[in-house]
Amino acid sequence: MTQRRVVITGAGVISPVGNTLDKFWESLKEGRSGTKRLTYFDTTDYSSKVAGMVENFNAEDYFSPKEVKRTDRFTHFALAAGKLALANSGIDLEKVDRDRFGVLIGSGVGGMTTIEDQHLVYLEKGPKRISPFFVPMLIINMAAGVVAMNFGLKGPNAAVSTACATGSHAIGDAYRIIERDEADLMLAGGSEACLTPVGFAGFCAMRALTTSRNDQPERASRPFDRTRDGFVMGEGAGIVLLEELEHARARGASILGEIVGYGMSADAYHITAPSPDGDGAARSMRAALRSARVSPDVVDYINAHGTSTHLNDKLETEAVKTVFGEHARKLCISSTKSHMGHLLGAAGGVEAVATLLSIKNGVVPPTINYEEPDPECDLDYVPNLAREMKVDYAMSNSFGFGGTNATLIFKKFE
């Protein structure tokens, strides 16, 4: 049987650096930071005080006021990004078979805002005052469910929750669904909104967040830099429309790129730390290359997981060297987390969009805040300035707590 090819025909983002594709891409190209002093609550007693916040976002632009009250912020982001992806694709929903159109959107944490708000209600007013929408608002699959309901999409519907690899796993799994001829179109990606008092405190308690640049928030996320000391926590959503190639051609769709490879692996090592020498990351990248049926030397660019933590950046660098050998020195590698922080379960979706725009526009976004080279991170991280170059194949990495890894490979469509 001929393998079904899958292309990306639409994308939408809600992010700390922009809520439209144009603004998002312009911010990345220009090296703008979207990390700021966290203002959602009083951070006096918190070790970290910076975050990548979504600004100028009004949920009522996408939901009715009643729906806003009955859904969590992570679902608001997912629906907004899904609507933007559909608009970007130019698709006419009246002319497609919605039984063959699915949704696969995940979240690392889900309705954290709802959990904290309703816990306060419980403490102050008792169990009888808990909202009847409490459980539907917090569960992770509600983002995919609400998107499907809004557009009448009756194909495969599921959610992924694999920590910081969520968005990439969602896109990869959606790719496989279309390959297997179980759908013709899938909206897929990730959404996250857990910049909440308890959620933020939890990451502070783990000592995972940066604390050294609370007074310089725009410089706080610095992947691969020697002075990095933790990640900046962010929020947002990234959704893409995956479409079977002939289906896309039949409707004259504009194509951002083709997805050709998907790899997964487990570290099976530690609940938060990556496996030594980047073994899990290396196996994920190799699996993606096997899936794409390409050799390592065809890859031009890697959108790295690049969290700005000491171990992650060092071990991802080691993994790239292991997989790519001498070609590792020729690769362009950048971390767009330097611009917006780490969007957790949304990171893979947003970074997939960034990777596709790199291919489409022939520009690699920089790793900003790269000031002091680290001898343990000695590859080309495209420091501080975007680079114009032809990108035929690009890889996007996402690695999550629990030792779960995902790698996507996209190809320029010609």
Could you give the CA distance from residue 192 to residue 236 in angstroms, rounded to a whole number? Answer: 6
Token pair of 7 as six digits? 């292309």
Could you give the CA distance from residue 230 to residue 341 in angstroms, rounded to a whole number? Answer: 10
Which residues, 6 or more positions from 376, have their beta carbon under 8 angstroms from its beta carbon?
314, 317
- Residues with a known catalytic role: 164, 305, 342
First to last CA, the chain: 23
Query: What are the phi and psi torsion angles at 40 (to 5°)?
Result: -70, -25
Angle 253-285-203 from CA coordinates, rounded to 5°: 95
Q: Is the dihedral of CA 37, 40, 46, 51 positive or negative?
A: negative
Could you give the CA distance from residue 402 to residue 275 in angstroms, rounded to a whole number? Answer: 11
Among 73, 31, 36, 41, which residue's Cα sits nearest to residue 51? 36
